[in-house]
Amino acid sequence: MSVVVLVVIVIISLAWARRRRRRRRKRAIGPELPTTVAPPQTLNVVPVWEIEAPTMESIIQDLAKKKPVRFKAQQLRSFTTNYSTRLGSGGFGIVYKGQFPNGVKIAVKVLNRKSNNRGAEEQFMAEVSTIGRTYHINLVRLYGFCHDNFMSALVYEYMENRSLDKHLFSDTQAIEREKLHEIAIGIAKGIAYLHEECQPRVIHYDIKPGNVLLDANFSPKVADFGLAKLCNRDDTHDSPEGYRGTPGYSAPEFLLKNYPITDKCDVYSFGMLLFEIVGRRRNTKVGADESLDWFPKQVWNEFEKGKLGEMALLSCGIKENNREEAERMAMVALWCVQELPHARPPMSVVVKMLEGEVEVKPPPRPFNYLYSDYTSSEETNTYLYKDTTSIMANSKIQMASSS
């Protein structure tokens, strides 16, 4: 009897121990997973032409932030409806209006490659290599390009209100003074981004009203990077071959022998543009008697006499409530066009001065080469200026051209 009881106790103990081991194993592994597998979810593939415009626009913006898209010639022909709407033309090609399949408007610049036009090829490479790697609200966006054996074209965002010069020099002045001040700040921010935030740095070389485009809200975007060049940040200056830019806006160092070219040449050009925004006129006018009316020199003369505010009210037709803004813009312009490049402020400082964040101190006299008492203020450049004074005296004022 005792043997039977002992066997029963052993069997119960073994069963209890086995059950206990199973419970420990479950706690270590976790709960048992269901053996059934859920069916795969079906993906709704939407063709690109059925994507809503806002979604497509965000895709295009993402592409523009990264790199331009390479289009085929037949795509551009379709986008422009066989190049039916012409927006304008220039030395390097013709610009046509078009739109993507989702309705986003574009401008297609078809470059002239006839007769081995090296300039068109250089412009194409300059645009793609510079603006193709930048993204800023005040720079025109390059959506893409086309390049094959037969054509080269650049595809930009469409600017409803064309270029700034069409409004500045028009008899019907639709843009309010307050908006012009905002436009000036926007242009300055775009150039500051090129100089100080891009890697490598970008020098535009051709800042002028004709190269500033306005969108539907009259927000400015710097455009036309055909003369632009990438520069390493470690390089203190560039060595371009020959004259660059547009006469009337280009910095004087382009006319000086062996003078280093830096991003300060864009600062000078912006100063000249700023004078035209203040005056709502071209800087250079030739009278019936061939007398020369040069607005930047007028601004300096009135500033020197302490009558800059009076000139703004009388000659420029500026209202009293816009007087302070106009005076500040004129003084900033005088700083930007200083003869010595290092005396010109960097564009980030120009932005702060225009926005009123920093005090604009009285600028030194610019255009020293136009005065009979001209002497160089820097001993290190004495030889340079003596050697080139005659050149500056002969050219004196460059006639501006917005072409």
Per-residue pLDDT tens for 133-174? Answer: 788 999 999 999 999 888 899 999 999 999 999 999 988 877
Q: Is the pLDDT assigned to residue 335 strictly greater than 60?
A: yes
Beta pairing class for 69-70 and 142-147: parallel
What's the confidence (pLDDT) of residue 37?
A: 45
In one letter, which amino acid is 143? Y
| Structure-block tokens of residue 334 | 């005088």
* Residue 228: partners with Cβ closer than 8 Å, 6 or more residues away: 126, 127, 130, 131, 194, 202, 203, 204, 205, 206
Q: How long is the chain? A: 403
* Confidence band for 217, pLDDT divided at 50, 70 and 90: very high
Residue 362 DSSP class: P
| SS3 assignment, position 245 | coil
6: exposed, middle or buried (C-beta count within 10 Å: 0-12, 13-18, 19+)? exposed
109 is in an annotated binding site: yes
* Confidence band for 387, pLDDT divided at 50, 70 and 90: very low
What is the per-residue DSSP string for 143-203?
Answer: EEEEESSS-EEEEEE--TT-BTHHHHTSSS--S-HHHHHHHHHHHHHHHHHHHHTSSSEEE
Q: What are phi and psi of 213, to 5 degrees?
A: -100, 155
What's the confidence (pLDDT) of residue 392?
A: 33
| SS3 assignment, position 11 | helix
Q: Is the pLDDT assigned to residue 357 strictly greater than 90?
A: yes
* Residue 372: partners with Cβ closer than 8 Å, 6 or more residues away: none
For the question of residue 206 being annotated catalytic, the response is: yes
Residue with tokens 């709704």: 44
What is the per-residue DSSP string for 26-64?
Answer: HHHH-SPPPS--PPPPPP----GGGS-HHHHHHHHHHHH
What's the confidence (pLDDT) of residue 132?
A: 78
Q: What are phi and psi of 37, to 5 degrees?
A: -105, 135
Q: Which residue has the higher pLDDT, 72 or 58?
A: 72
> How many Cβ atoms from other residues are within 10 Å of residue 123's Cβ?
25
Residue 50 DSSP class: G
Catalytic residue among 206, 238, 263, 266: 206
pTM above 0.85, yes or no: no
Radius of gyration for the chain, computed over Cα atoms and rounded to the nearest angstrom: 33
Structural domains present in the chain: 72-157 (3.30.200.20), 165-395 (1.10.510.10)
Q: Which of 140-154, 198-212, 249-263, 340-354 has the lowest mean pLDDT?
A: 249-263
| SS3 assignment, position 286 | strand
Q: Is the pLDDT assigned to residue 353 strictly greater than 70?
A: yes
Please state the rounded mean pLDDT for residues 315-337: 92
Q: What are phi and psi of 223, to 5 degrees?
A: -135, -175
Per-residue pLDDT tens for 229-287? Answer: 666 544 445 545 556 788 999 999 888 777 788 999 999 999 999 999 999 999 998 87
Please state the rounded mean pLDDT for residues 178-194: 97
What's the confidence (pLDDT) of residue 362?
A: 95
